[in-house]
Amino acid sequence: MSARILSIGTAVPPTTIEQHDIRDFFISQAGGDRLAQRLVRATFDAADIDTRHTVLPELGKAGSAALDGLFVDDRGLLRSPGTGLRNAEYMRHAPALSNDAARTAMQDAGVEASAITHVVTASCTGCYAPGPDFRIVRDLGLAPTTERYHLGFLGCAAAFPALRLADRICAAQPGSVVLVVCTELCSLHIRPSSSPDQIVASSVFADGAAAAIVTGVADGDVRGGLEIQRFATTITEDGEADMAWTIGDDGFEMVLTGEVPRIIGREIRGAVDGFLLGEPVDTWAVHPGGRSILDRVQTGLDLDPSALRTSRAVLREHGNMSSATILFILERMLRDDAIAAGATIAGLAFGPGLTVESALLTKLPAPSATPTAAPAVRDHELAGAA
């Protein structure tokens, strides 16, 4: 029995950042350093991002009346809180965002809380125990016997390993219903810096959560979704020092050098050819680590510009939400009537290492207006939960 992604739910924090406002905010942090100011302006303007979301309300006030908050002082200057304070904010905000995305996925699938057998979470922007996986079980009313697994520090590529684990669970234990949740609060690790790596990180990263329901495809089940065909992992020849994520005294420190797009552009053809083995693809879901990464993938695979339109749209509206981002893209593809039933979707995501994670999916027919099978039962109590 093959497994499929039955539904995907997404959630973002309420504070919206306009890219031009946050650009000017970072330019003001550079003081009189004109070289840093030019680098900030060029990097932010080239990102092809209009808006992002953050759990930090003071960043939404950038360019206007400054708030005296944990990250911005009353003069409008960026603070550098310690890692413990940043992680405390992760503990405060991550559970609610995770729960919101999970509730949406469950409601859209018509899956009751009691039906969930496994929870798989992924995150690289905070850590604590018991963590978001525990809170999902407790807050959403899942059975206390629900199995839980957490994938940490796999970076932007983590959603595909999480889905792969869910697929393996469904194959090993038919009848399983797996809730996968990716939650990233990247803005918690923002910092004042003239480092090109940090300026790039500040120009693209954002906050968000996404959840997916993964279960087996049973005979006569007409609930649609994305059927999982297979996954693959490839470590590139270079890049171990070019994309990294370490824990420092002032937050998690991102290394994201200008070599990353070039490495991806040089090696993406070999990674994809070894994965697809000549199988045709109708559309692509590519993690938008940044505009230049999408450009390199498009060129390296000789894709039509329209092939990455959904990836570019998610980047433009939400920025790079690390592991959650690829699920935002797949959620749009599930709802996109222009992608017909039977279409194959090739997914690509990139993580530290440099690692390429791949997935091949097939879009299943959407449920008909007059169902031929018994309708799914929704969890009405869950829908009304806080």
Contact at 8 Å (CB) between 264 and 242?
Answer: no
Residues 208/315, Cβ–Cβ less than 8 Å:
no
**Is a pLDDT exceeding 80 seen at residue 66?**
no
Position 237 pLDDT exceeds 90:
no
Where exactly are the structural domains of the chain?
4-215, 225-364
Output the pLDDT for position 369: 42
Give me the CATH code for the 4-215 domain, please.
Answer: 3.40.47.10
240 or 338, higher pLDDT: 338
pLDDT at 251 over 80: yes
**Closest by alpha carbon to 349, among 172, 210, 220?**
210
- Residue 231 CB partners (closer than 8 Å, separation 6+): 160, 161, 163, 164, 167, 357, 358, 359, 360
> Does this model's pTM top 0.75?
yes
Question: Contact 32/73 with Cβ under 8 angstroms?
Answer: no
Q: In angstroms, rounded to a whole number, what is the distance separating the alpha carbons of residues 30 and 192?
A: 8
83 sits in the region (left: phi over 0; alpha: psi -120 to 50; else beta) called alpha
* Phi and psi torsions of 270, nearest 5°: -65, -40
3-class DSSP state for residue 39?
helix
| CATH H superfamily, domain 225-364 | Thiolase/Chalcone synthase (3.40.47.10)
Nearest to 157 by CA among 271, 234, 266: 234
Structure tokens at 78: 């960026």
Is it true that 4-215 and 225-364 share their CATH fold?
yes
Q: Does the pLDDT of residue 382 top 50, yes or no?
A: no
Q: How far is CA 360 from CA 163, 279, 310, in A?
A: 12, 10, 17
Taking only the tens place, the pLDDT of each residue in 217-231 is 776 666 789 999 999
pLDDT band at residue 1, thresholds of 50, 70 and 90?
low
Mean of all residue pLDDT scores within the chain = 90
**Strand partners for 297:** none
Distance CA 119, CA 181 (A): 8
What is the predicted pLDDT for the residue at 368?
Answer: 65
Residues noted as catalytic: 156
Given a cut of 50, whether residue 179 has pLDDT beyond it is: yes
Q: Are 155 and 233 in contact (CB under 8 A)?
A: no
